């Protein structure tokens, strides 16, 4: 793989005074999209750059379950070009998300590892439900319509998302395992287009959609909005052929007949569809037809806003103290009847420990601190199932619940911290993640120091880093009056002997 040395990193001058640029990168199954925007003073943003790379990452994956070597190399070359666009942006202002193909491919980790090295940024794989939420957010902010209730449809290369919501709030979210590439692989792989193949493609899509037909039909929506390249391409074709500005069932039926008359993807002309999309166009059209039939749509509007715009809105929210992840954490605290006062005490102690070792351990002030705080707030979530092995119950819940705003890797790290906060240190969960084991060590100490659940100040401790790991100092006279805490700490010293950072306990002669 060769880096492009003759292209300078793109500069984004401060167009609006002291404000910063932000970038959202969507690693889709068909295309990679980049959007760069400048924050504006009134909690809005101005798009200053867009970029798209055709990758066909999902090509052939329906049969093999792996990203082909050809697709992987093509995608990595695309990321080299993408990296030129974001190289000069602050790392905290860039978010890269992966979707269906990176959720399902058996060799996704290989691509993620190499892709992160090329980009210099973490690639966050998001769940289908989170993808749907972000798509709705992006579409709702870009579609100007007087309606309050709307249905948003996005057809990607490997999956299709359908969301019903009210204004900017999604209510019902579903992700379906059908996309324009996967449907093409199943029904139009050799490029031939016939009515029989269209019926088969539509039936396959209907089979996925029908179980959720009533779910969406029972929800109020005044307007249906489509987003993504597939629906934009369908609208372009219908407008060019029939001068229709909306996608309707009648116009769609005529388009399908036109494609069947052509008989092959190679005969699809530019006035119908961009030649880069032509090979997967029929698969996408069949899915649109199935959706409109299933949900009884008369017409479908199309907007530019999609996943990348949703990611950008979410990213800006995080910088403006409007992080949806905070809402998700608070919802879990309420839903699973967590002792809020105790969790807040553990959280405060964990953050104090964090501050004492942050510089020595080079811990990130924002993301890693947030992760520790959230784990502290949720460390007892498993108790709502059973006190016995509640740390394991908590791990399972946090790994499998749908948490708005969280990527799959973020949820996994949160689950690991909750699992590791007590009993044996599960060293096998921390392979290649030394930072997470540091946070786990701090959370374990915080839970021990606050185990008595008393509503009074924490003991006068200090925490330092030494050659073997952590050195915790406590006043001798305080421990003499708190024998149970001393026993808990001694037990923790034993547990931590198998951890990457061992714990030593020192007794001082006076409190601070």
Can you spell out the DSSP letters for 253-288? HHHHHHHHHH-BGGG--TTTS-TTTHHHHHHHHHHH
For residue 36, the surrounding DSSP H or E stretch is: strand 31-39
In terms of DSSP bridges, do strands 462-465 and 223-227 run parallel, antiparallel, or are they unpaired? unpaired
Nearest 5°: CA angle at 411, between 408 and 413?
110
Residues 231 and 157 in one domain: yes
418 in Cβ contact with 395 (< 8 Å): yes
CA distance 172 to 351: 36
From 229, 210, 207, 55, select the one nearest 156 (Cα to Cα).
229
Residues 40 and 59 in one domain: yes
SS3 22: strand
For residue 197, being part of any structural domain is answered with yes
Phi, psi of 425 (to 5 degrees): -80, 115
For residue 15, being part of any structural domain is answered with no
281 in Cβ contact with 264 (< 8 Å): no
Residues 404 and 380 in one domain: yes
The residue from 125, 154, 175 where one domain ends is: 125
Residues 55 and 174 in one domain: no
Give the CATH number of the domain where residue 269 resides. Answer: 3.30.420.150
For residue 487, being part of any structural domain is answered with no
For residue 401, being part of any structural domain is answered with yes
CA distance 444 to 234: 55
Residues 57 and 145 in one domain: no
Residues 71 and 170 in one domain: no
- The answer to whether the Cα torsion of 120, 123, 124, 129 is positive or negative is positive
Residues 304 and 164 in one domain: yes
Question: Crossing angle of helices 249-262/195-209, nearest 10°?
Answer: 140
| Helix segments in 450-507, DSSP class H | 476-481, 483-495
**Which residue is listed with tokens 């921390």?**
430
For residue 169, the surrounding DSSP H or E stretch is: strand 169-176
| Per-residue pLDDT tens digits for 103-144 | 999 999 999 999 999 999 999 999 999 999 999 999 998 887
The residue from 457, 479, 499 where one domain ends is: 457
- 165's tokens: 């919501």
From 221, 407, 412, 231, select the one nearest 314 (Cα to Cα).
407
CA distance 4 to 6: 6
For residue 75, being part of any structural domain is answered with yes
Residues 147 and 250 in one domain: yes
Residues 142 and 201 in one domain: yes
Burial 9-24 (b: 16+ CB within 10 A, else e): eeebeeeeeeeebbbb
91 in Cβ contact with 14 (< 8 Å): no
Give the CATH number of the domain where residue 331 resides. Answer: 1.10.3210.10
CA distance 493 to 505: 8
Residues 117 and 184 in one domain: no
The residue from 75, 108, 125 where one domain ends is: 125
For residue 12, being part of any structural domain is answered with no
Phi, psi of 231 (to 5 degrees): -70, -35
Within 8 A by CB and 6+ apart from 208, the residues are: 176, 177, 178
274 in Cβ contact with 265 (< 8 Å): no
For residue 199, being part of any structural domain is answered with yes
* Whole-Å CA distances, 510 to 199, 276, 476, 479, 488: 82, 74, 7, 11, 21
For residue 246, being part of any structural domain is answered with yes
Which residues of the chain fall below pLDDT 50?
A: 1-8, 14-18, 511-512
- 127's tokens: 């769940």
Give the CATH number of the domain where residue 35 resides. Answer: 3.30.420.40
What is the per-residue pLDDT for 512?
46
From 251, 257, 264, select the one nearest 302 (Cα to Cα).
251
325 in Cβ contact with 317 (< 8 Å): no
Q: For the whole model, what pTM was predicted?
A: 0.89
Residues 163 and 265 in one domain: yes
Residues 261 and 329 in one domain: no
Q: What residues make up the domain containing 436? A: 323-457
CA 136, 139, 143, 146: dihedral to nearest 10 degrees?
A: 0
Q: How many domains does the chain have?
A: 3
| Helix segments in 91-127, DSSP class H | 100-104, 108-119
| Per-residue pLDDT tens digits for 371-416 | 999 999 999 999 999 999 999 999 999 999 999 999 999 999 999 9
């Amino acid at each position: 793989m060769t880096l492009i040395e003759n292209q300078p990193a793109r500069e984004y001058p401060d167009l609006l005074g002291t404000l910063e640029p932000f970038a959202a990168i969507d690693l889709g199954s068909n295309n990679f999209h980049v959007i760069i925007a400048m924050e504006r003073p009134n909690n809005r943003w101005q798009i200053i750059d867009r970029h798209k790379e055709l990758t066909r990452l999902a090509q052939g994956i329906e049969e093999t379950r792996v990203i082909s070597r050809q697709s992987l190399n093509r995608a990595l070359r695309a990321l080299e070009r993408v990296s030129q666009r974001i190289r000069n942006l602050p790392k905290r202002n860039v978010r890269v998300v992966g979707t269906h193909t990176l959720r399902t491919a058996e060799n996704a980790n290989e691509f993620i590892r190499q892709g992160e090295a090329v980009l210099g940024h973490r690639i966050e794989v998001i769940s289908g439900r989170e993808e749907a939420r972000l798509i709705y957010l992006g579409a709702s902010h870009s579609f100007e319509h007087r309606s309050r209730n709307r249905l948003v449809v996005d057809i990607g290369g490997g999956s299709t998302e359908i969301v019903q919501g009210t204004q900017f709030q999604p209510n019902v979210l579903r992700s379906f395992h059908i996309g324009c590439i996967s449907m093409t692989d199943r029904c139009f792989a050799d490029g031939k287009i016939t009515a029989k193949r269209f019926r088969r493609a539509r039936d396959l899509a209907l089979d996925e959609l029908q179980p959720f037909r009533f779910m969406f039909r029972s929800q109020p929506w005044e307007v249906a909005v489509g987003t993504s390249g597939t629906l934009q391409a369908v609208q372009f074709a219908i407008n060019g052929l029939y001068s229709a500005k909306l996608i309707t069932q009648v116009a769609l039926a005529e388009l399908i007949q036109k494609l069947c008359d052509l008989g092959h993807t190679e005969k699809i002309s530019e006035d119908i569809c961009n030649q880069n999309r032509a090979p997967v166009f029929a698969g996408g059209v069949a899915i649109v037809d199935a959706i409109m039939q299933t949900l009884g749509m008369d017409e479908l509007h199309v907007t530019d806003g999609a996943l990348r715009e949703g990611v950008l809105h979410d990213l800006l929210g995080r910088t403006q103290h409007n992080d949806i992840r905070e809402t998700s954490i608070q919802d879990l605290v309420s839903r699973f009847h967590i002792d809020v006062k105790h969790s807040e005490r553990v959280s405060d102690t964990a953050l104090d420990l964090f501050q004492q070792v942050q510089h020595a351990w080079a811990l990130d002030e924002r993301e890693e601190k947030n992760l520790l705080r959230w784990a502290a707030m949720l460390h007892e979530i498993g108790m709502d199932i059973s006190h016995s092995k509640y740390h394991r119950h908590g791990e399972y819940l946090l790994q499998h619940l749908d948490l708005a705003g969280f990527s799959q890797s973020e949820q996994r790290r949160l689950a690991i911290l909750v699992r590791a906060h007590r009993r044996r240190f599960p060293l096998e969960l921390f392979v290649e993640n030394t930072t997470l084991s540091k946070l786990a060590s701090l959370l374990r100490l915080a839970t021990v120091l606050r185990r008595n659940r008393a509503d009074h100040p924490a003991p006068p401790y200090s925490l330092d880093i030494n050659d073997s790991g952590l050195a915790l100092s406590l006043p001798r006279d305080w421990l003499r009056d708190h024998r149970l805490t001393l026993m808990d700490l001694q037990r923790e010293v034993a547990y931590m002997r198998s951890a990457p950072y061992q714990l030593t306990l020192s007794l001082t002669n006076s409190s601070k």
